Amino acid sequence: MKIRARKLLGTIATVSFLTIYCLLAMVVGNSIVQRFGTVGETVYFLIAGLAWLPPAMLLVRWMQRPDP
């Protein structure tokens, strides 16, 4: 697959993943984590705010791979 096609697919995948991930993180944070108080919410949203980075980094690494 050419780099241009990988970048297009990777961009679409990244935007889709982040949209779904953010919505799910908000639902979980609002319904489940709310019982743990302010400290629990802060810890959850700190972890949830950083958890999307490894999948996004893998996608970017795949997108930047040189053409065969």
pLDDT (tens digit per residue) in 12-31: 999 999 999 999 999 988 88
Q: Which two tokens stand for residue 12?
A: 């679409």
Per the CB < 8 A criterion, the answer to whether 3 and 67 are in contact is: yes
pLDDT at position 49 = 93
Residue 67 has a pLDDT of: 82
What is the pTM for the complete model shown?
Answer: 0.80
Q: pLDDT of 26-51, one tens digit each?
A: 998 888 887 888 888 889 989 999 99
Taking the C-alpha atoms of residue 21 and residue 38, their distance in angstroms, rounded to an integer, is: 22
